[in-house]
Chain A
């Protein structure tokens, strides 16, 4: 996956990064380990969002619902049933995927912005139920002190578990993007009419991608429980959804690793800024504006464009000799 983003050298850089990630607990203070764990799982969440968003062209405006539902489902499973936490961790993603299927079936009939807004509506309903159902979900307090299996309960082990699961999930998502399904998805993003015309059942493929995205969002939710042993209703709130969207945009939503990079930047920035001042949303808002106006393809997108821009320039030079397009008449 690094090869695609950065060329041959990418492989070396990528491997180095992974090795470094495994070595971190040996020399970094606890707080940083916690932070990196959060970055990893949020990056996974953002990458799962980018599947329908950047690769599918679907306006997934309330992705956080699946994250939150995955986390809550896992948490409730662990705390209310007598079963092992591992069961909870597995239930989470499937619950999220199931919700994704239901919401997808309702929203998929509509396109673009309508889809996004309907999703926000349904998601808000889920949020308010969780927020209000004090006796069952802990209401605005959330659920704390969730028991986690011994083996991953220490800070470092939780980190390694998160790292492992995240890498595996990213690998799976990468495979999916490069499969025929992924190609079809990108085709749908670029041109749904064309896709239908070459035999692709557009709605069905879109539904599938929503379910996959929901599943991995649920995985991120379960990971949060491992790292933090708690869940909060904020995990379902639309502001988180938009923050994750910003992460994709910032990193580059036509690239695979962009969302992960975006997550790293935003979470680091937030932690850093919060150390000085209470006013985090202001710099975030300004950062967003900068990205929207100057880096619409995100950081990695910008780098990619630069790297491959040269090839495109050569292509354009050849194109200059071809004729320009005349106006098209109606038949």
Chain B
């Protein structure tokens, strides 16, 4: 479904992503791991149009989407959550998700119908499925970090994506929140049939739910394979020697 071929990006002299490769099949859950600074978020930014790559290509469902701006990428069916929480602080949880839906429905050019009447059911449905229904009226500037990360995912769902890209979805979450999040991801993949690409630091989570794993070191892909293949790979073990900083 998603093919990334020799993608590269530098900032000044610093090479952030160096001829990275990635493939994600429909219905899979793929994880990207690597030490700190390996370029995972930059890779996601390149795929989703937040940054423009210098070299390489990105294909989604066979179509070349390299370099398209974010809003175009979103319309193709890719949604994304951010590592550093990126929500609409002054609006309520409900409104945050609602906007995502309205945007998908191309309704944002509607100047006169009151928003409060549109997409209410769908918004509630999503909020219910992620467990935020009880807090939907709260201003997002005021909710907990864990809830905000879940909201990130909820907003991504609003776009009704085929591919969901999650950037460190459980970062900063407490244990109960983390397990809830994992369940949610499994649900999204199993029940909703979404294809999921994510990156994480917690190896247990990664090996727990990923079908395949891609390992990034210093901007480049070392290997992409099943959990066992990755665990037994020489290069991967070398990359993690001497550092407790795993992914």
Contact = CB atoms under 8 A, between A and B. Distances in A.
A and B touching (Cβ–Cβ under 8 A): yes
Interface centre among B86, B99, B108, B111 (most CB of A within 10 A): B108
Contacts of B49: 196
Given A179-B110, A179-B114, A179-B115, A194 B86 contact: yes
Given A183-B98, A312-B139, A322 B70 contact: no
Given A182-B115, A323-B146, A190 B91 contact: yes
Main secondary structure of the interface of A (DSSP, over half): helix
Interface string B69-81: 1110011000110
16 contacts: A175-B112, A178-B114, A180-B115, A181-B111, A182-B115, A184-B108, A189-B90, A190-B87, A197-B82, A198-B159, A200-B99, A201-B69, A208-B109, A322-B145, A328-B172, A331-B41
Given A194-B82, A196-B69, A319-B142, A186 B91 contact: yes
Given A179-B115, A183-B102, A186-B90, A330 B36 contact: yes
Interface range on chain B (Cβ under 8 Å from partner): 35 or more
Contacts of A178: 114-116
B104 interface: yes
A199 interface: yes
Contacts, number: 161
Interface string A184-207: 101101110111111111100100
B162 interface: no
Contact of B146 (A191, A194, A312, A322): A322
A178 B42 CA distance: 36
Contacts of A324: 145
A144 B113 CA distance: 42
A196 B201 CA distance: 27
B155 A179 contact: no
Contacts of B95: 183
Interface in B54-103: 69-71, 74-75, 79-80, 82-84, 86-91, 95-96, 98-100, 102-103
A277 interface: no
A328 B96 CA distance: 23
A328 B90 contact: no
Contact of B88 (A179, A186, A201, A312): A186
A329 interface: yes
A183 B100 CA distance: 10
Nearest to B171: A328
B138 interface: yes
B38 interface: yes
Contacts of B36: 329-331
A176 interface: yes
A328 B80 CA distance: 18
B111 A183 contact: no
A324 B177 CA distance: 13
Interface string B166-177: 011001111001
B114 A326 contact: no
A176 B174 CA distance: 41
A286 interface: no
Name which of A194, A197, A324, A329 has the most chain B CB atoms within 10 A of its CB. Answer: A197
Given A183-B98, A190-B91, A328 B84 contact: yes
B71 A176 contact: no
